[in-house]
Each structure stands twice: as structure tokens, then as C-alpha cells.
Amino acid sequence: MHAVIVGTGGIGTAVARRLLLDDATVTTTYHRHRPAEFDAVQLDATSPAEVARVFGEIGDFDTLVVTTGHRHELDFFARQSPELAEEIIATELLGPMNLVRGALQVFGDHGRIVLVGSDSGKAGTLGDAASSAARAGLMGFVRSIARETARRDVTINIVSPGPTDTGLLSGMLEGEGLTAKVMGGTVRAIPKGRTATAGEIAEAVAYFVGPNSGFTTGQVLSVSGGLTM
């Protein structure tokens, strides 16, 4: 397995570590913040031309894991600028679409794709309408691509984490604004009574890219402690 992991935040790093345990070759990419742990390639997934260029430089690979998201403060949609909404959708929907297109052009008869999404695409999140729309769009996109690739040994699935113990979540819980209130309420509502670890999300990804997952495609797996059961 040669896995390209797009995004090296808490979950992306955990996925890279987990796949290395399976003796995978791992190539990581980042957008703005170069990781200290991995020798990563810079990539702006919102640019189809840059995706094509970087994937051409990487060469053959058979696994794509996308963990990227747009960090922003929550706010009611009527108060959110159109430019910010468009930026969120470009990052969380159009970017993954560009990456999937690029991967399918590289893959032969075998390939595994996992997008790390969010259950906001199913349930919605107060103050996060654009992101929820993007995540819902990913679900329809993945099901369509699964139908297109089902006759080949190519699968595509989504892992949707609940609140996960990462630096990103810690930052969102700080302060007294809408972001902290919404995320704090979400964490308190988890039936398991705790947040996920990044390693638990990585384990779900490892199944979808592993050797026994070839009959599972077009699926959305919530790893949310029962939050969206």
C-alpha cells in the first residue's frame, strides 16, 4: 500500500502513524502548516492544476485519505460573509472532489479512498451552515463515485468523527462565543460521555483501506460515541 494522506492535523497524523504499522508507504501533504513529524509535500487541494502536479510528482499510489477541513468561527448564516461561505465550500467539498478525481486518474484496477467528513452533513450544526452543506455534498458525491467504480477493486467511503481530542477541538472550546457554546454542548451530548481519540478515528480509516474492505463502498461510518445514532 502506498497511501497519500492529505492533511496532517491531529487525525491526519494519527492515520499516518496507524498505516505505518501496517508497513504502508505513506506520503503526507499539508496546506499551510508544515508538520514536524513527517516530510510532507505542500498542496492546495482547491486547485485542480496543483493536485495534478503534486500527484504527478508523487507517482503511483493506491490509497488516498483526505482529512482536511476549514477552521472558522461559527456564526449564523445570515451574518456570515459570502466570501467565507465560498471558501469553506471550496475547502471541504471542491477540494476533496479535486483530490478524488486526481487519485482515480492515478489508480489502476485497485484503489482505496477515505474522506474524513462530519456528521454535520446529516444532522446540521448551528452556526455552521456552509460547512454542513459541504459535508452533505460529500456524502452524495461519495455514493455517486462508488457507483462509478464498483466494478473495479476501487472503493470510496467516509469516516465521520464525532468531537475528537485534538488541538483543533481544544481551540474551539475556548472562550465565550458561539463556537465554544455549540461545541461544548455537542461534547456534553455524547452518550459515551467522552470525546474520541484520534487513534480511534484512524482505526476506522485503517479498516476502509485494508485488505478485507473490498466489499464496502459508498458508506458513511460515524465514529461519534453514539452522538448521531
Residue-wise pLDDT for 116-140, tens only, equals 999 888 888 999 999 999 999 999 9
The yes-or-no verdict on residue 214 having pLDDT over 90 is yes
pLDDT value, residue 213: 96
pLDDT value, residue 209: 98
Amino acid at 165: D
pLDDT value, residue 171: 82
The yes-or-no verdict on residue 150 having pLDDT over 90 is yes
Tens-place pLDDT, residues 90-100: 999 999 999 99
Spatial distance between the Cα atoms of 194 and 182, rounded to a whole number of angstroms: 16
**Stretch 62-82: mean pLDDT, rounded?**
95
The yes-or-no verdict on residue 112 having pLDDT over 80 is yes
The yes-or-no verdict on residue 9 having pLDDT over 90 is no
**35/3: higher pLDDT:** 3
Domains of the chain are 2-165+198-222 (3.40.50.720)
pLDDT value, residue 122: 87
Spatial distance between the Cα atoms of 190 and 180, rounded to a whole number of angstroms: 16
Tens-place pLDDT, residues 154-210: 999 999 998 998 877 788 888 889 999 999 999 999 999 999 999 999 999 999 999
CB of 218 closer than 8 Å to CB of 158? no
Q: Which of 146, 136, 118 has its CA nearest to residue 222?
A: 118
Tens-place pLDDT, residues 23-58: 999 999 999 888 888 889 999 999 999 999 999 999
pLDDT value, residue 37: 87
